């Protein structure tokens, strides 16, 4: 396998032509040894997973891409193995949160003409601090307990708190308390947890559903007309509360997907492809996921088929090249969000104020050499997929996917960061 492969066509914002990997830090010229990085990361991941792919970018331009192993074993591909490439769609898992979260920031910063009146013409900060329940359809608002005692309540949850994982919603997956959406909205809130970081899928599931409600002022009214009888204060006759909720979430999930495509994905060049219906739309190209390297067969998903709609917290498929292209436009242009918003998304002096980024890890080496004491990163864990996005110093971003669970996301993160350090350590 050749390492440090280059695209033969234009990638991300610009091709390789004329791009230098040198950068000044103080009075010194900082250079990056991409071949060393590539060899380190390839060696760390290749022996341990079914298949993998990664792309490293800087300033919106390609530095390194590589892939190896299998996207599908023979039993999953008509008797012939399918090799993994950087263009193979792979299950993102919770990296989908980065897409829905930055779509919400995009909508807040670049408001639509049809935006909800609770948002229209407000400042960016005011929009972040708007309580989410004001845009709820009546079926949802009906289950939220009325304020009865002093202290945080569901009605205090803002868009900022959802995007920070500081909403007070508990971590349903880790606590084994997976509940229907309405029940979660009613009883999944813990006052003592409000404004305290706790990773919870519910936060970005809700962000995804809120995107269409924020984008169009009449979306809530349309849904209420279909599901709510204002005179009785109950769901429309003949419709249970759960049936009304399902109709609402199916509509919002569909509209969320359409909104992200229309506002962002379809405007990215080269075109990127994402799907929450991979089992059907990517049935010949997407990677299967495997619990372990020794498994003979894996799985492929369609959340659209199993759930009825796409969701904001997981289950999309895309390739590392397409996700890196998204990150290129995110990090080096104002097309998705401005630099001001990017900077606000991660404040190294108060990491828990971060927006969208899921995790942070302290790093003495990064602090000493790049004045970056904390590294922000996000990951995805779903079926056998393990995916990582890392924000590195000097506008480097790493996208790293594996389609088996043999390596944890923490191990993938470490492999990626260690490889970056290997490519940089000759400077220090």
Three-state SS sequence of the chain: CCCCECCCCCCCCCCCCCCCCCEEECCEEECCCHHHHHHHHHHHHHHHCCEEEEEEEECCEEEEEEEEEEEECHHHCCCCCEECCCCCCEECHHHHHHHHHHHHHHHHHCCCCCCCCCCCCCCHHHHHCCEHHHHCCHHHHCCCCCCCCCCCCHHHCEHHHHHHCCCCECCCCCCCCCCCHHHHHHHCECHHHCCCCCCCHHHHHHHHHHHHHHHCCCHHHHHHHHHEECCCCEECCCCCHHHHHHHHHHHHHHHHHHHHHHHCHHHCCCCCCCECCHHHHCCCCCCCEECCCCCCCCECCCHHHHHCCCCCCCCCEECHHHHHHHHHHHHHCCCCCCHHHHHHHCCCCCHHHCCCCCEEEECHHHHHHHCCCEEEEEEEEECCEEEEEEEEHHHEEEEEEECECCCCHHHHHHHHHHHHHHHHHHHC
Q: Report, as an integer, the average pLDDT of 196-221.
A: 95
User: Residue 232: which residues within 8 A CB-CB, separation 6 or more?
Assistant: none
Evaluate if residue 3 carries a pLDDT over 50. no
User: In which domain, by residue range, is 345 found?
Assistant: 92-358+370-390
- Number of Cβ within 10 Å of residue 119's Cβ equals 21
With respect to residue 169, please indicate whether it lies within any of the assigned structural domains: yes
CATH of the domain at 342: 3.40.710
Q: What is the pLDDT of residues 363-387, one digit of tens each?
A: 999 999 999 999 999 999 999 999 9
Q: Report, as an integer, the average pLDDT of 113-122.
A: 87
- Per-residue pLDDT, 18: 31
User: Residue 111: which residues within 8 A CB-CB, separation 6 or more?
Assistant: 119, 120, 121
With respect to residue 185, please indicate whether it lies within any of the assigned structural domains: yes
Question: In terms of pLDDT, which residue wins out, 6 or 324?
Answer: 324
With respect to residue 115, please indicate whether it lies within any of the assigned structural domains: yes
With respect to residue 81, please indicate whether it lies within any of the assigned structural domains: no
With respect to residue 26, please indicate whether it lies within any of the assigned structural domains: no
Evaluate if residue 197 carries a pLDDT over 80. yes
With respect to residue 86, please indicate whether it lies within any of the assigned structural domains: no
How many domains is the chain partitioned into structurally? 1
Evaluate if residue 82 carries a pLDDT over 70. yes
With respect to residue 61, please indicate whether it lies within any of the assigned structural domains: no
Q: What is the pLDDT of residues 250-304, one digit of tens each?
A: 999 999 999 999 999 999 999 999 999 999 999 999 999 999 999 999 999 999 9
With respect to residue 363, please indicate whether it lies within any of the assigned structural domains: no
- Per-residue pLDDT, 174: 64
């Amino acid at each position: 396998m050749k390492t440090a492969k280059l695209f033969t066509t234009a990638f991300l914002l610009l091709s390789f032509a004329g791009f230098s990997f040198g950068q000044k830090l103080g009075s010194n010229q900082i250079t990056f040894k991409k071949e060393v990085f590539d060899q380190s990361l390839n060696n760390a991941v290749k022996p341990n997973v079914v298949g993998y792919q990664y792309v490293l970018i800087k300033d919106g331009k390609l530095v390194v891409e590589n892939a190896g192993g299998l996207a599908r074993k023979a039993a999953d591909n008509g008797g012939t193995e399918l090799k993994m490439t950087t263009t193979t769609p792979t299950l993102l898992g919770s990296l989908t949160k980065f897409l829905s979260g930055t779509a919400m920031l995009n909508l807040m910063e670049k408001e639509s003409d049809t935006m909800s009146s609770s948002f229209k013409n407000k400042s960016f900060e005011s929009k972040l601090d708007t309580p989410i329940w004001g845009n709820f359809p009546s079926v949802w608002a009906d289950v939220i307990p009325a304020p009865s005692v002093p202290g945080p309540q569901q009605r205090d949850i803002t868009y900022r708190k959802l995007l920070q994982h500081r909403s007070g919603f508990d971590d349903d997956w880790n606590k084994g308390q997976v509940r229907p959406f309405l029940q979660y909205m009613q009883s999944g809130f813990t006052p003592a947890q409000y404004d305290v970081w706790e990773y919870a899928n519910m936060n970005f599931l809700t962000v995804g559903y809120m995107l269409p409600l924020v984008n169009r002022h009449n979306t809530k009214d349309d849904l209420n007309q279909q599901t709510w009888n204002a005179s009785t204060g109950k769901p429309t006759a003949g419709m249970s509360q759960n049936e009304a909720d399902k109709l609402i979430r199916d509509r919002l999930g569909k509209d969320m997907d359409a909104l992200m495509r229309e506002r962002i994905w379809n405007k990215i060049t080269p075109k990127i492809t994402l799907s929450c219906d991979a089992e059907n739309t990517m049935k010949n190209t997407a990677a299967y996921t495997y619990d372990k390297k020794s498994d003979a067969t894996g799985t492929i998903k369609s959340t659209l088929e199993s759930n009825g709609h796409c969701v904001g917290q997981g289950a999309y498929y895309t390739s590392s090249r397409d996700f890196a292209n998204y990150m290129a436009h995110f990090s080096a242009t104002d097309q998705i969000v401005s630099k001001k918003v990017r900077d606000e998304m991660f404040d190294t002096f108060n990491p828990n104020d971060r927006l969208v980024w899921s995790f942070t890890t302290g790093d003495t080496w990064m602090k000493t050499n790049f004045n970056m004491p904390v590294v922000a990163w996000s990951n995805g864990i779903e079926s056998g997929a393990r995916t990582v996005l890392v924000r590195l110093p000097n506008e480097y971003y790493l996208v790293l996917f594996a389609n088996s669970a043999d390596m944890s996301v923490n191990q993938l993160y470490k492999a990626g960061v260690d490889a970056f350090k290997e490519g940089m350590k000759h400077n220090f």
